[in-house]
């Protein structure tokens, strides 16, 4: 097997031209000049036996909050420390871009927020942020519950059919696939007022969306961007299929954009935010972005924005719901506690924005799921100029110099399961977010304190000073965080309101795979039955 190894010290130089050349070569082979950072050693086979983020965890326990990892000539810096993560994401955010992630996503999302260069990002982030205003989010709770209702009705129908055909009252469903359809329907309606109807049917557009998502996943696990070579588009069958999927989605989005533009009613942002969203025929983000006065955007940019939100907001939420079921099904007493809360707050009715605020335990379940299964497990950055990263939480004063062009992984998974910051880090304990902890005297880290974010419905990166990063942090933090949290709360509450859920096999038989998000390799097969009265 090929060895992953790199030097832990800067090669020495004495000015001799041959030595310099040899140092350059050593540098190149060892993944570049990355100072005295600890170095992960392993074999490339480690990378293929299990998802990369799991190997990065083992190396984190061995090497600490910052280390470098080299694949032959290519090196990455892996950060698992809140102080260094905060530096990269918030304090020095504009010294980095999305690096390899942008290269992967640009052909799909164009200049959408995730891969966008800084200039485009600044303009579009300023324009899109106001569209996620309070009345919009409140109105979306109805979309979340209407779509979840369809999934519930479908499951109830399957149970009735099973009862009629075999007398059994339990069905087996791949809930990962069901949540994926649910999240797609929700994102379609809320972002561009388009009903995919994927919970109940299949269509060419839905197939194309899944094809594109599949390709995005494939690209994020493939180390060599072969798709950037123009002939690949025509020669490689999966690339040909990808191009045709992309065309189907783009045609669909272009049609919706055209429609929205033809019915445009230009209005000031403040006025748009005061509309009666619960009674609007079209409350979508697209409507808002097109109607907003003073922002003239071309169709291409609008399409990139919509495509980005379609992809960013779909798999992530579906994954949260999938892993929620996985974790809850191993903790029946927590299901009972959740159901008691659901019964007390909702009875048999659907959640509303107001009642959702009272579903505290469900909200904590959602964030605890995001702690254990962050989506994505790694954040990716590349330095735009030479940088000095600070020492980590162990109080190292000395920073680490990294050259321009250094690729960085911030391992959210490692941060969220760090034994330095969490008691029983691998245990599923939603209640942990209610506890207050001292900072343990760690220099530069403000510690864990829920009171630091008063009024927030859900715990966030501020309460744990970047040891908890479910939506990233700093200026490029997720724009749909509240949307996604409420969506997950509603869907989960409605599922457990009606059903008891168990895993079909053992938890150990559920195999992890990861691309942009963490998936169950063979789906999350569960047994569903109506709750006993």
Contacts with ligand HEM by CB under 6 A lie at 113-114, 125, 191, 308-309, 312-313, 316-317, 320, 375, 379, 470-472, 476, 478-480, 483-484
Residue whose CB is less far from ligand HEM, 75 or 312: 312
In angstroms, give the least distance from the CB of 437 to ligand HEM.
23
Residue whose CB is less far from ligand HEM, 4 or 464: 464
Helices (H) and strands (E) in the chain, counts: 20, 14
For 410-454, give the secondary structure using H, E and C: EEHHHHHCCCCCCCCCCCCCHHHHHCCCCCCCCCCCCCCCHHHCC
Q: Is 322 helix (H, G, I), strand (E, B) or coil?
A: helix
Adjacent-strand bridge partners of 64: none
Residue whose CB is less far from ligand HEM, 127 or 503: 127
Kindly state the tokens that stand for 234: 């025509």
Of 211, 68, 217, 202, which is closest to residue 516 (Cα–Cα)? 217
Adjacent-strand bridge partners of 525: 174
Which positions ≥6 away from 31 have C-beta within 8 Å?
A: 6, 68, 69, 70, 71, 72, 73, 74, 75, 76
In angstroms, give the least distance from the CB of 315 to ligand HEM.
9
In angstroms, give the least distance from the CB of 514 to ligand HEM.
13
Residue whose CB is less far from ligand HEM, 239 or 377: 377
In angstroms, give the least distance from the CB of 8 to ligand HEM.
28
In angstroms, give the least distance from the CB of 375 to ligand HEM.
4
Residue-by-residue DSSP string for 149-179: HHHHHHHHHHHHHHHHHHS--EEEEEHHHHH
Adjacent-strand bridge partners of 528: 171, 501
Distance CA 198, CA 114 (A): 25
Residue whose CB is less far from ligand HEM, 338 or 479: 479
Kindly state the tokens that stand for 209: 């969306």
CB atoms within 10 A of CB 512: 15
Of 71, 61, 143, which is closest to residue 100 (Cα–Cα)? 71
Residue whose CB is less far from ligand HEM, 190 or 239: 190
Helix (H) or strand (E) holding 321: helix 315-329
Residue whose CB is less far from ligand HEM, 209 or 309: 309
Residue whose CB is less far from ligand HEM, 442 or 486: 486
CB under 8 Å, gap of 24 or more: what pairs does 245-251 form?
Answer: 245/207, 245/208, 245/209, 245/211, 245/212, 245/215, 246/108, 246/208, 246/212, 248/204, 248/205, 248/208, 249/205, 249/208, 249/209, 249/212, 249/307, 249/310, 250/303, 250/307
In angstroms, give the least distance from the CB of 300 to ligand HEM.
17
Residue whose CB is less far from ligand HEM, 4 or 249: 249
Of 407, 410, 411, 387, which is closest to residue 399 (Cα–Cα)? 387
In angstroms, give the least distance from the CB of 121 to ligand HEM.
6
Distance CA 176, CA 510 (A): 12
Residue whose CB is less far from ligand HEM, 66 or 478: 478
Distance CA 377, CA 263 (A): 41
Residue whose CB is less far from ligand HEM, 4 or 408: 408
Residue whose CB is less far from ligand HEM, 334 or 476: 476
Residue whose CB is less far from ligand HEM, 124 or 432: 124
In angstroms, give the least distance from the CB of 190 to ligand HEM.
7
Which positions ≥6 away from 476 have C-beta within 8 Å?
A: 89, 93, 121
Of 480, 384, 404, which is closest to residue 114 (Cα–Cα)? 480
In angstroms, give the least distance from the CB of 471 to ligand HEM.
5
In angstroms, give the least distance from the CB of 457 to ligand HEM.
14
Q: How many CA atoms lie within 13 A of 372 on its CB side?
A: 24
Q: Can the peptide bond before residue 362 be classed as cis, meaning omega within 30 degrees of 0? A: no
In angstroms, give the least distance from the CB of 419 to ligand HEM.
22
Q: Which residue has the tokens 């599923």?
A: 428
In angstroms, give the least distance from the CB of 472 to ligand HEM.
3
In angstroms, give the least distance from the CB of 270 to ligand HEM.
22
């Amino acid at each position: 097997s090929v060895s992953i190894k790199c030097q832990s010290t800067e090669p020495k130089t004495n000015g001799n031209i041959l030595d310099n050349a040899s140092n350059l070569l050593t540098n190149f082979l060892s993944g570049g000049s990355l100072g005295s950072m600890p170095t992960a050693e392993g074999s490339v086979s480690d990378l293929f036996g299990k998802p990369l983020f799991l190997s990065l965890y083992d190396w984190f326990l061995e090497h600490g909050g910052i280390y470098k990892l080299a694949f032959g000539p290519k090196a990455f810096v892996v950060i698992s420390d809140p102080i260094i993560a905060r530096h990269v994401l918030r304090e020095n955010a504009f010294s980095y871009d999305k690096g390899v992630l942008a290269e992967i996503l640009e052909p799909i999302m164009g200049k959408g927020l995730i891969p966008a260069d800084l200039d485009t990002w600044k303009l579009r982030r300023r324009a899109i942020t106001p569209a996620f205003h309070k009345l919009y989010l409140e109105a979306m709770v109805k979309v979340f519950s209407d779509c979840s209702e369809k999934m519930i009705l479908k499951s109830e129908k399957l149970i009735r059919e099973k009862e009629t055909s075999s007398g059994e009252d339990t069905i087996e469903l791949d809930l990962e696939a069901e949540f994926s359809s649910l999240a797609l329907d929700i994102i379609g309606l809320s972002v561009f007022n388009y009903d995919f109807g994927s919970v109940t049917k299949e269509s060419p557009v839905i197939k194309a969306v899944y094809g594109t998502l599949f390709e995005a996943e494939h690209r994020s696990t493939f180390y060599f961007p072969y798709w950037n070579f123009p002939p690949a588009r025509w020669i490689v069958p999966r690339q040909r299929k990808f191009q045709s999927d992309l065309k189907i989605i783009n045609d669909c989005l272009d049609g919706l954009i055209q429609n929205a533009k033809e019915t445009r009613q230009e209005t000031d942002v403040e006025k748009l935010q005061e509309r009666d969203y619960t009674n609007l025929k079209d409350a979508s983000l697209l409507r808002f972005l097109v109607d907003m006065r003073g922002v003239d955007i071309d169709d291409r940019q609008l399409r990139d924005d919509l495509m980005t939100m379609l992809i960013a907001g779909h798999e992530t939420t579906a994954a949260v719901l999938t892993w929620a079921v996985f974790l809850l099904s191993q903790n029946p007493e927590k299901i009972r506690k959740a159901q008691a809360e659901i019964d007390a707050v909702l009875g048999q009715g659907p959640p509303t924005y107001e009642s959702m605020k009272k579903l505290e335990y469900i909200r904590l379940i959602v964030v605890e799921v995001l702690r254990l299964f962050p989506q994505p497990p790694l954040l990716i950055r590349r330095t735009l100029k030479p940088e000095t990263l600070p020492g980590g939480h162990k109080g190292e004063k000395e920073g680490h110099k990294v050259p321009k062009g250094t690729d960085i992984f911030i391992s959210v998974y490692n941060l969220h399961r760090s034994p330095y910051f969490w008691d029983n880090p691998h245990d599923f304990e939603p209640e942990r977010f209610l506890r207050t902890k001292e900072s343990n005297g760690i220099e530069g880290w403000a510690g864990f304190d829920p009171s630091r974010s008063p009024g927030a419905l859900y715990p966030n990166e501020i309460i744990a000073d970047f040891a908890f990063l479910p939506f990233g942090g700093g200026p490029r933090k997720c724009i749909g965080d509240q949307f996604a949290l409420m969506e997950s709360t509603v869907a989960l509450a409605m599922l457990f309101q009606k059903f008891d859920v168990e895993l079909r096999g053992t938890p150990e038989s559920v195999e992890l795979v990861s691309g942009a998000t963490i998936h169950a390799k063979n789906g999350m097969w569960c047994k569903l039955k109506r709750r006993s009265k």
